[in-house]
Amino acid sequence: MPSWLRVTKTFGTGATLPYLLGAMRVESGTEEQAFDESTSRGELEALLVSMRDDLPPTDCVCIQHCGFVDGYVAAWHAAPPSGRARIQSPYHADRGLYHCGKIYGERITDFDSLLDVLWRRHEEFILQRRFSREWVTSLNGEERDWLRFDQCETDKCDEIRKALAAANIP
């Protein structure tokens, strides 16, 4: 089981893609290291490819809206979700990555359009290593914002490490 999937499953509604990238950096010990745009976009692309190609049938991931984080998450499903569009794996006829058709108001037509909209929407936060979407108090009241893991609850990285360690258990 890919380690990102273990983290995704710890959240009932799924995990944001920046959160999963941050968790993967925690696993590799690079969560505080700054990466350039090309490297970071490559990480996002590799994550989406893994979501599309690396799960056993009938497990799948759907990129879908989550009201709790007011954004899109990667949610694990035990079977293909009905009413969702599918991006077919080019390597496995029985695998694919699902989505809700439009993400952040943009129509998704293929893998590249999915990657493009997710990168454009999350680029700033990923490059700044702000991986966690949390409630904050601002001049406008309570709202969601992207924060670094060390600005969140103090044991956030420990929770990630525990979920990743559990992924190595058969």
pLDDT at residue 133, as a whole number: 86
> What is the pLDDT of the chain when averaged over all its residues?
88
Domain membership of residue 117 as a residue range: 3-167
Between 27 and 105, name the one with better pLDDT: 105
pLDDT, position 59: 93
Please say if the pLDDT value at position 170 is more than 60.
Answer: no
Number of independent structural domains in the chain: 1
**Containing H/E element for 63?**
strand 60-66
Residues 20/74, Cβ–Cβ less than 8 Å:
yes
pLDDT tens-digit readout, 125-136: 999 999 888 888
Count of beta carbons in the 10 Å neighbourhood of residue 42: 12
Count of other CB atoms within 10 angstroms of residue 20: 26
pTM for the full model? 0.87
CA distance readout (Å), 121 to 53, 77, 164, 166, 169 = 23, 24, 26, 30, 34
Lowest-confidence range among 38-47, 88-97, 109-118, 151-160? Answer: 151-160
